[in-house]
Structure 1
């Protein structure tokens, strides 16, 4: 059924770290305030250049920031967000 609803399949390639560093701060304001080293940390440990992973990570990161009262994601916040993704191991 799904294939009958899809007109054209789109293949999206993995973002390189350089692309992540350029695109992700523009994607959401939370990443615009983040240290580029923490964006690289998040990509290496959880997002892996996949935009869908970045969307999920962003949602969990926003929850963590709200709960902690912090203004931007640091590694402690990111580790908590990673734990919500279900596939991350330290």
Structure 2
């Protein structure tokens, strides 16, 4: 049994899959303030990031979507000491 986000609507049409879902959960986008609060706690790569860079990333690619933040995080784990806009622009190009 597990949790399914709003993308699980197709599962509801499949009785064999739908019956295995314990709780249907709808997720909404994070607000800009929630992004600034949650992102540094989400992964160490964001812990020391400049809030302006977090806002830059959110406005250019993540748009409050936590799944998008997870994808972006995977691309920013390069071993650099700190996330900056140069690294973010490179990561954005990998997401397309």
> Aligned pair 1:74/2:92, yes or no?
no
Structure in which a larger fraction of residues adopt helix: 1
> Unaligned stretches of 5+ in structure 2?
1-15
Greater strand content: 2
Do the aligned partners of residues 82 and 2 (structure 1) sit closer, same or farther apart at CA in structure 2, a change above 3 Å counting? farther
Q: Which residue of 1 aligns with 2:95?
A: 85
Give the structure-1-normalised TM-score: 0.84
Higher relative contact order (CA 8 A, sep 6+): 1
SS in 1 for 2:19: helix
The 2-side partners of 1:11 and 1:42 are apart by 24
Count of matched residue pairs:
81
Alpha-carbon separation, structure 1, partners of 2:57 and 2:20: 34
For 1:60 and 1:31, locate their aligned partners in 2 and report how far apart those are by CA, in whole Å. 12
TM-score (norm 2): 0.79
| Counterparts of 2:17 and 2:50, CA distance in 1 | 40
